[in-house]
Structure 1
């Protein structure tokens, strides 16, 4: 069924983006054929709206949340195309936050006209919504104005990120140095290529009656026939975190995870000699995200499946992982031997810490 409204508009600071913003965007996208999003703020009248996360950075976080496997497909929420614009005082003449309602409404009206953009409805969660829509001459749709579904605001998050981390996507939370609370303890397995992580995770999940999360980077690597780009590495970390969150609701007592964002960051440096700051931030909070970290020793027979690098790299990869864990101050346990021996080592360690029944 074709949405009754052709183009929707959402305007906000998104400072930072939170689950309430996502509810607003996703509700709007379900009712329009295309959604436009304007990200801006001007609290001081000089310089960027935020030194640490200015509008272009916040807009890029939103773009990352709604990109798919292939960047060439553009941004979408479901099947609805999404266009996100970052406006600044320097480039676009954004009015001060303290300016009156008319000034803000007229600024948006003129900006849209200057871009040749027409909208059919404005979606907001704020009291200013009806008057704003009337000024633009379009319909207004209110979304959770009472904050009943997602009781959070940007101000609350800025004032106390840790207290409201549950209302943040893992990618955004990491930029603030916090981690959303987990439903169950997460146990992550790291290791060089062909070090037995996937096999061990599957065996442990079966032995412990729970679920595990495969390495999403491997999934996308195969899906794209090995042609991963630099931008894919942050996407891999984001999707892997989302898959963990989804699996956590099905886990029993513990969730086993194959690889984390820190290893993804290593691969970003290895293949592209650089790493997106947002991915760096996700790597930096891995010590908080996972209750326990195990490293698989590269002592099992190497299996070349057509997707891995040469066996000679295993020792180097293993050393880099250990160096990174030491750098972040993340304690870990090295596991080796047969699959059965490794399962026994992990179970004994978790039982000793009360994470699994004896």
Structure 2
């Protein structure tokens, strides 16, 4: 039996998108078959305009198949950017009736009927009534996610815990970690994965495999430019998930900075959002280790030629120097490398 279609509506500044916005969107998406999201403010931000904020939302809800567009679960998101110049967005200070009527007329002009409004604000019921649709309130009291866009704008660092890593990086901050994160960098076939697994076993904790490798295999080696930012985003999310299972320390295979290098290597460019994620790697990880490319090279069908290892190693070292990130070089057998890492971390 087919479920009747139901279109939801969420309106907001998303300046910037925070965990409260994500709770709102994800709650709404679970109850509708399509979710319309309007992003606007008047006056708007000069440094983070609505178009940029909408792109952050699209990045946050892009799945493995980026061509399908943003979605939450099986619910597609239709994200629209509105402006004062193009759409006649009223000033933020305008009265409620003006704001409600503006949205009503915009929906009519676009031919978009909606069935339910979702909001986390006191204006929600009156707004929905003006549109003659149902209303669902989501965490109005801010008990689940005690934050607001106003607070984040005032002090991003203080409220970084309520930001997704991708969004936080655009603001130059890093969400606090529940356990210290230790990252391992290195050229292809330099022993990062083997070392992470050995350390996790020796220390009784968790480790995070390189997500770029996972997606690379899933797509049979045919990565697109947009995949590189997605890889960095998903890897950060997987780190956050693994941190909940870690004991004392979390070992991470690769970081966003290396993903940015691959973006330049394969596509000769790098998304600004990925550049921002790379730039905060020095804050995100408590210690950085670089695996020397001295172990026997293993060609598994997914790697470049062995001659490339030396170049990759040099680029990683150059990038660490550029970002001013201190690191420890590890060499030798797996056992010797484990001992070197544990000694550097104080075991």
* Shorter-chain TM-score tier: over 0.9
Unpaired segments of 5 or more residues in structure 1?
A: 44-48
Partner of 1:326: 321
Q: How many residues align?
A: 347
Post-superposition shift, 1:94? 1.2
Q: Deviations over 1:64-90 (max 9, x none)?
A: 111100112222111111111111222
Is 2:290 the partner of 1:292? no
Is 2:127 the partner of 1:156? no
Q: Secondary structure at the match of 1:32?
A: coil
Distance 2:299 2:306 in 1: 8
Answer whether contact 1:162 1:178 (CA < 8 A) is retained.
yes
Is 2:259 the partner of 1:264? yes
Distance 1:74 1:16 in 2: 21
Which of 201, 210, 219 is 2:214 aligned to? 219
Segment drifting more, 31-40 vs 66-75: 66-75
Distance 1:241 1:79 in 2: 22
Answer whether contact 1:2 1:33 (CA < 8 A) is retained.
no
Partner of 2:38: 38
Post-superposition shift, 1:4? 6.8
Partner of 2:164: 169
Answer whether contact 1:36 1:84 (CA < 8 A) is retained.
yes
Q: TM-score, normalised by structure 1?
A: 0.95
Post-superposition shift, 1:154? 0.1
Is 2:15 the partner of 1:20? no
Q: Secondary structure at the match of 1:257?
A: strand
Answer whether contact 1:18 1:167 (CA < 8 A) is retained.
yes
CA gap of 1:146–1:5, structure 2 versus 1, over 3 A, is farther
Unpaired segments of 5 or more residues in structure 2?
A: none
Which of 82, 90, 107 is 1:95 aligned to? 90
Q: Secondary structure at the match of 2:23?
A: helix
Partner of 1:46: none
Partner of 1:127: 122
Partner of 1:339: 334
CA gap of 1:171–1:138, structure 2 versus 1, over 3 A, is same
Post-superposition shift, 1:2? 6.5
The RMSD of aligned alpha carbons is: 1.1
Distance 1:3 1:327 in 2: 54
Answer whether contact 1:55 1:87 (CA < 8 A) is retained.
yes
